[in-house]
Amino acid sequence: MTRRSNWENQIGKRLRLRDLHVLFVVAERGSMAKAAAELGITQPSVSDVIANLENALGARLFDRTSHGVEPTIYGHALLKRGLAAFDELKQGVKDIEFLSDPSSGELNIGCNEAFASILTPIIVPFFRKYPRVTIRMDPSHNTGPQLPALRNRQCDLVVRHFQSSLLENNPAEELNVEILLNDRLVVAAGLRSPWARRRKIDLAELIEEPWILSAPDTWNHKIISEAFRARGVDLPRIRLVTLSLHVRADMVASGEYIATFPSSVTRFFAARSALKVLPIDLPAQPLPLGIVTLKNRTLNPVVERFIDHLRAFTKTMREEQQPSRR
């Protein structure tokens, strides 16, 4: 009872959402003056809000420096919890909007380029079912190993291929990870390439061809390296190193180059990019494609329906990957 009383009298009655908003702006701008300009209030008003918060909490929230202000460990703690509180309020508003109009809402997706390249056949039927839903995919929503955009609640979910580093750098108790399918690597040439007409190709035959690969520490580069070593030959000369699927596809479509792609990409990308998957057996090293969400975050109904849509869509892809039984 004592702790509850302290909360109500010392903090609960003195802490307002507006004060937390001021706190966030000050932390983001790193300056009381810049925060005041953004909020349209005076700098003394901002200073008073921060001082009152510090008095109520009994802890210094910012260190004052000659360049502005920086959050203390106490400030970071409040910012982290406050971010979650504001996010839950936003999700509540979205829930109400969805309940009043189930075909509307907003969804923020973080994804890598490989998944973005196959989004069209996924999103179009979803839009038909939910015509007033808005989907946002911001390039600034980094999907690197630390998943900063997801942790900062800038996006609702991340959809991407997983490498071991992604899971190793993210404790399981913080994330929900759902594998949708195990992708595989394929080798492709342009439709005008003489290799596109071959029914059987040994990888070693492509040793003199100009290849396009991503960097040596990536999944596709490692698999191709292992495959050539298994054939007793060195890796061919790499003419272009890039992570861009669109650049790879454009170069390969010319008919002069060879490149690798995830099979999920060529399933939808090959026809419009004039690509042909070559009949080459590569080592079986599947790369999982999946969804990542925060465990401590409530998903709004639109996000849940999009995840259900992804499950249904990729189920068809998984079934197509299964060898036929006769």
Q: Which of 40-49, 83-92, 182-191, 196-205 has the lowest mean pLDDT?
A: 83-92
Q: Is residue 63 part of a domain?
A: yes
Q: Is residue 93 part of a domain?
A: no
Tell me: do 170 and 300 sit in the same domain.
Answer: yes
Whole-model pTM: value is: 0.65
Max distance between CA atoms of the chain, in angstroms, equals 81
Number of domain units in the chain: 3
Tell me: do 206 and 131 sit in the same domain.
Answer: no
- For the segment 63-85, what is each residue's pLDDT rounded down to a tens digit? 988 788 898 988 888 888 777 77
Tell me: do 75 and 113 sit in the same domain.
Answer: no
What's the confidence (pLDDT) of residue 98?
66
CB 23: neighbour CB atoms within 10 A? 22
Q: Is residue 325 part of a domain?
A: no
What's the confidence (pLDDT) of residue 90?
76
pLDDT exceeds cutoff 70 at 282: yes
Looking up residue 152, the CATH number of its domain turns out to be 3.40.190.10
SS3 117: coil
Q: Is residue 76 part of a domain?
A: yes
Q: Is residue 85 part of a domain?
A: no
For residue 280, what pLDDT band results from cuts at 50, 70 and 90?
A: very high
Tell me: do 164 and 305 sit in the same domain.
Answer: yes
Q: Which of 30-34, 93-97, 184-188, 315-319 has the lowest mean pLDDT?
A: 93-97
Tell me: do 209 and 132 sit in the same domain.
Answer: no
- For the segment 150-188, what is each residue's pLDDT rounded down to a tens digit? 888 888 999 888 765 555 555 557 888 888 988 889 999
Tell me: do 297 and 159 sit in the same domain.
Answer: yes
Tell me: do 275 and 206 sit in the same domain.
Answer: yes
Buried-state track 117-130, b at ≥16 Cβ within 10 A, e below 16? bbbeebbeebeeeb
Tell me: do 63 and 144 sit in the same domain.
Answer: no
Q: Is residue 50 part of a domain?
A: yes
Range of the domain at 76: 2-80
Tell me: do 264 and 221 sit in the same domain.
Answer: yes
Tell me: do 169 and 221 sit in the same domain.
Answer: no
Tell me: do 125 and 265 sit in the same domain.
Answer: no
Q: Is residue 128 part of a domain?
A: yes
Q: Helix H segments across 60-169?
A: 73-100, 113-116, 120-129, 148-151, 164-168
Q: Are 261 and 125 in contact, with CB atoms under 8 Å apart?
A: no
Looking up residue 16, the CATH number of its domain turns out to be 1.10.10.10
Q: Is residue 97 part of a domain?
A: no
Tell me: do 32 and 159 sit in the same domain.
Answer: no
Q: Are 78 and 26 in contact, with CB atoms under 8 Å apart?
A: no
- Please indicate whether residue 85 or residue 306 has the higher confidence score (pLDDT): 306
